[in-house]
Structure 1
Amino acid sequence: MALPKSASLLSAVALVLLTAPTAAAAPPKATPAEATVTIGADQAAIGTLPADFLGFSYESTHLESGEFDAQGSYPQLLKNLGPGVLRFGGNTVDKDFKTSSPEALAALRRLTDATGWRVIYSENGARFDAAAVTKDVAAVSAALGPALTALACGNEPSSWQSKGYRPAGYGSDDLPADAQRCLDAVRKGAPQVPFAGPDLASTGMLPAYAAWAKGKIGLLDQHYYAISGCRSKDATAAGLLSRERASAAASTIGKLSATAAGLGVPLRLSETNSISCGGIAGVTDGYASALWMADFLLTAAEHGAAGVNIHGGLSGTYLTGALGNAYSPILSDGKRHYTAAPSYYGMLLAHQLGTGKVVPAKISGGGNLAAHAVRNADGTTRVLLENLDGAPATLGVQVGSATRVSVLTMTAPGLDAKTGVTIQGASVAADGSFTPGAPDHADCPGGTCRITLAPYTAVVLGTVTAATPAPAPATPAPTRTATPTPSATPSASRPETPTAAPSPSASTPHPASAHPSTGPELASTGADGTELMALTAGTGLILIGGAVFASQRRRGTHRRA
């Protein structure tokens, strides 16, 4: 579904069209829904957003594809997201996976060394061979070293009976014995590596597993898809972005988190995505997936997940003979050329929140809106706002002592667009690097930013400690002007304040870039410690996402840029 032309850019200023007296009258503009967003920056945390929160999940047999190596742009695409986690498992681990070749493991080690990412590695649990498992985990542990964060056995054991891996009647009471056999084999080959499980697709077997797992596992792994089944009536963009779907995710993840807490271990959604069965073309491979992704990631963190692994494949199909790969954030042409899909931009947007404690963000008012907030260790608070409705929304965002905002924007040609997604006019480069454009600015008088979001947009705000504004520079800062799109209001000029891409790995800190400013700078950092942008004294917020507002202080309004 294409976005309305009036939503190409956001504006608090009406666009006046002059027509001949005989021309048909223009349709009335939709009245934006009104809502208030209250950020509990000083309240108790409701979750945590760690540095390794983001991750990807791939089929075990894909390890032999040659893709997982420190070559091409793939390593940079990982580094853009901080020091994350790769998980190998999926359906193929139980179907026909045996062991990984020394060449594949050596390549994977080169990749982890280059990126700072770590690995959750799965063994065949359905067609279990104790000797083979012990031998393989010993080789994997030796090859990956500290990059191996956990070992797991099997994939979705609740489906083993239906797939013919177990006899009729196999159920919850049988799972602990299978888990124990695999744990014993793993301990013989890699005694120091944490054990993870149970990688269930649903929660029916979880109580029995949890009763066995106390003191035996180091990580509770669980799968979750927002919509299960490719023929679901909700397998649409509207269904995916609905608040009912978000509430269901919050409820399920909250219950899983409670189980993990009872076991004294973290919860990781080791296999997750929007719609199962490879996704739905036109829904999960378009811009809607970027909006869903950012909201889902923060929902998961709010409700206790310590990390997520977005499932998919780098090639066109993620399983031989399966449905097309319509939901993977990164795709490969098989020639070391990798493309960032729309959902990758949702992950990239979430990464701009940095790390820290998730705090309450309350919405009062109508509309299909989402709000999440993260309090960083340096005292800043960043907020994700999304308008997931087909009508505009005006938000009064209460940001405390902050008085000004700095704005980055995520845009796309339409809700189903597969290309053209940008953040502040910038897209991921051919080499995988990413640097957003210079931010725009707007004022927040009295600590409240009144912001109008066009349909289907997302914004990240980051408050900083208020300071006395620095004196104006003697020479105006250089500016750049955005090129307006058809039917858009003219763009406001933007201060040319280069921002550093949040891309270096944790193992190789990136030196902060020098930023021209009008006064002392307040640095903001991403999840990996990389400087995202420098804010001059008195700057109140960072906005990154789906709306651009440039301050027009003399009139007391905000113009879209």
Structure 2
Amino acid sequence: MKSRPFSAACLIVLMYGLCAATVAKSADGPAQPETEATAEVNVHPGRQGRAIPQDFLGFSYEAPVLAQDYFDADNEALANLLSNLGTGVLRFGGNSVEFTYWSRNGKISAPKARAILTPQDLDRLFAFSSKTGWRVILGLNLGHYNPQMAADEAAYAVARGGSHLLALEIGNEPDLFMHNGQRPATWGYRDFRREFEAYVQAIRSRSPDAPISGPTACCKAGLEWFPQFLADEGSQLVMANFHNYPMSASRTLSPNSPRYPTIERMLSSELMDGVAKEIRQLADEAHAHHLPLRMAEVNSASSGGKNGVSNVFAAALWGADYAFTLAEQGAAGLNFHGGFWCGGYTPVCISHGTYSAQPLYYGMLLFHAATPGRLVLVRVRSKANVSAYGVLAKDGMLHLALINKDVRQSVRVRISGAGSYSQAHVLRLIAPSLGSQTGITFGGSPVGPTGDWSPTSAEKIERRGRDFLVQLPAASAAVVNFLK
């Protein structure tokens, strides 16, 4: 069955029992923890902040996947998985973009080629983009320096993609070129800027209005380059972009490192505080140049993620918390990096020809259920590891995302400030345990093998005076929807 984007209208129907829904019982959730904490959540619908755009969510892929037929207009399962999340952004780049070449006839000298893209590949991509409404960020090969090849690929993408092409990227993580053999050890920002400008000149000579983004950097040197790059090249850009991985799955990393991936570290407030600080700095610098910031490649741990951390239910809670954190700090969107293999941090995979929503995807699903709209001020008082984010939709519906990252404590949440709303219902994100890879549901339903999903349970929560009360089991999350 073809799925449709989850909407407020569907929620209203579900709330009044017209979708043959049944209210989830507590036995369907995680096992009852030994202790219970409390949380006071004060929401201020009148104090509105940044807007979360409709295309905030996105996926990021390695560029060579474009030479295969995943993004075919007839791929209903993948189209359904995207549709569940609204209309977002597909980004193609990654380290392998530097080994991805372009040729009109498929013939080109291509050292260490991972893929040679042709017009047929971009035709397929933009047909899929047109069908799904998901726009495209397309990476160009800078590692093997060839401005004319990049300009020809860009010209074809601009002509074929039209409004479905959101941006072009020039290279991937150039701040690491001097470490991965792409350039000499002495290569630095001035060298990158010279090459970037040569590419821009070649692209604009063919396509004057080509949308260009940058610097597509990731790391310590990139953070140092970022403000200077925007000062030098900001007028050439339609958006600033950057990458972020708060942990690393590198095999050489010591377990004692603060970046070593564990569930406890992934869900810690210290990790998310560090993310928030970095994103705020990047967003402020981008906004100073009147540019949106898109975190075009992100995930929990670099080097593909860590099994048992990046591919379990804990990653769903982290992913939702991470997306809201980026939105709060000023990012205009993010793209979770992955592929179609099953394992590591990928949000969606294919096993024996069948698509499967991985745990991280469920975190994206929860985020989408509460957006788009404007963030509103929310204050939380609790000793438990709980996050809360409020979003006011255009239709006046108030959404409150609650994420309990505490492994041992359920939390009894008292919500104040929403007294002008007559009732509230909750959609729960639950799983057997933080380490679960299966058995995950949102709104009482798993994502089906053809990518279909719709909620089947939305329980009405207790109102006491002008406050609302909701129980949040340990290691779970929920979206509370308030209706006038």
Same fold by TM-score greater than 0.5? yes
Of stretches 116-125 and 174-183 in structure 1, the one that deviates more from structure 2 is 174-183
1:453 aligns with 2:472: yes
Residue 241 of structure 2, aligned match among 216, 221, 241 = 221
SS of the residue corresponding to residue 82 of structure 1 reads coil
Distance, in Å, in 1 between the alignment partners of 2:186 and 2:290 is 31
Larger radius of gyration: 1
Q: Which of 330, 333, 355 is residue 351 of structure 2 equivalent to?
A: 333
Q: Percent identity?
A: 34
Which string of whole-angstrom CA distances, capped at 9 and with x for unpartnered residues, describes residues 293-350 of structure 1?
111111110110101011011134xxxxxxxx41111102373x31111111110111
Alpha-carbon displacement from aligned partner over 1:448-478 (angstroms, at most 9, x marks no partner):
122222210101112232xxxxxxxxxxxxx
CA contact 2:424–2:483 (8 Å) conserved in 1: no
- Equivalences for 1:47-446 in 2 at 5 Å? 47-70=50-73, 71-99=75-103, 100-202=117-219, 203-230=223-250, 231=253, 233=255, 234-316=260-342, 325-333=343-351, 335=353, 337-390=354-407, 391-398=409-416, 399-446=418-465
Secondary structure in 1 matching 2:224: coil
Q: Aligned partner of 1:68: which letter?
A: F
The residue matched to 1:87 in structure 2 has which SS?
strand
- Which AA in structure 2 matches 1:414? S
* C-alpha distance after superposition, 1:533-559 (max 9, x if no partner): xxxxxxxxxxxxxxxxxxxxxxxxxxx
* Residues 78-129 of structure 1, C-alpha deviations (whole Å, 9 max, x = no match): 1111111101110011134445212211211221121011000111112221
Aligned-partner Cα distance in 1 for 2:254–2:39: 31
Does structure 2 retain, via aligned residues, the 8 Å contact 1:148–1:193? no
Q: Which residue of 1 aligns with 2:17?
A: none
SS in 1 for 2:413: strand
Contact 2:36/2:411, CA 8 A, preserved across alignment: yes
**Are the structure 2 counterparts of residues 31 and 428 from structure 1 closer, same or farther at C-alpha, using a change threshold of 3 Å?**
closer
Provide the C-alpha distance between the structure 1 equivalents of 2:389 and 2:289, rounded to a whole number of angstroms: 27
Secondary structure in structure 1 of the residue aligned to 2:210: coil
- AA aligned to 1:66 is D
Q: Partners of 2:142 and 2:244 in 1: how far apart?
A: 20
Partners of 2:447 and 2:429 lie apart in 1 by: 12
Residue type matched to 2:441 in 1? T
Letter in 2 for 1:286: V
Change (3 A) 1:62 1:365: same
Tell me the SS of whatever aligns to 2:81: helix
Distance 1:147 1:369 in 2: 38
**Alpha-carbon distance in 2 for matches of 1:229, 1:157:** 21
- What residue identity is the alignment partner of 1:186? I
- Partner deviation per Cα, 1:149-194 (whole Å, 9 max, x = no partner): 1111000011101122222221223322122111112212322221
Paired AA for residue 110 in structure 1: A
Is contact 2:412-2:469 (8 Å) kept? yes
Q: Deviations over 1:45-81 (max 9, x none)?
A: 1x22100011000011111121111224001111111
Aligned partners of 1:130 and 1:376: how far apart in 2?
A: 44
Distance (whole Å) between structure 1 residues aligned to residue 120 and residue 151 of structure 2: 19
**CA offset digits 1:254-308 (Å, max 9, x no partner):** 0110011011110000000111110111111111111111111111101101010
Cα distance in 2 for partners of 1:350, 1:176 equals: 36
Structure 1 letter corresponding to 2:285: T
CA distance in 2, matches of 1:232, 1:108: 40
Conserved 8 A contact 1:197-1:222? yes
C-alpha deviations, 1:344-370, integer Å up to 9, x for none?
111011100121111221111211111
Between the aligned partners of 2:242 and 2:81, the Cα distance in structure 1 is 25
Specify the SS of the correspondent of 1:146: helix
Gapped runs of 5+ residues in structure 2? 1-25, 104-116
Deviations for 1:383-404, whole angstroms, at most 9, x for unmatched residues?
1111101222222111232343
Higher deviation after alignment, 266-275 or 423-432: 423-432
- In the TM superposition, residue 30 of structure 1 has moved relative to its aligned partner by 3.4
Q: Is the 8 A contact 2:425 2:482 kept in 1?
A: no
CA distance in 2, matches of 1:264, 1:176: 20
> For 1:156 and 1:88, how far apart are their aligned partners in 2?
13
Deviations 1:491-546 (A, max 9, x none): xxxxxxxxxxxxxxxxxxxxxxxxxxxxxxxxxxxxxxxxxxxxxxxxxxxxxxxx
Q: Are the counterparts in 1 of residues 89 and 135 from structure 2 also a CA contact under 8 Å?
A: yes
How many residue pairs get aligned? The number is 434
| SS in structure 1 at match of 2:65 | helix
Listed one character per residue, the Cα deviations across residues 5-46 of structure 1 (whole Å, up to 9, x for unaligned) are x986379xxx9xxxxxxxxxxxxx73412221111211131x
Deviation at 1:440, TM superposition (A): 1.5
In 2, are the aligned partners of 1:32 and 1:452 still within 8 Å (CA)?
no
Secondary structure in 2 matching 1:170? coil
Distance 2:28 2:441 in 1: 13
Separation of aligned partners in 2, 1:182 and 1:359: 41
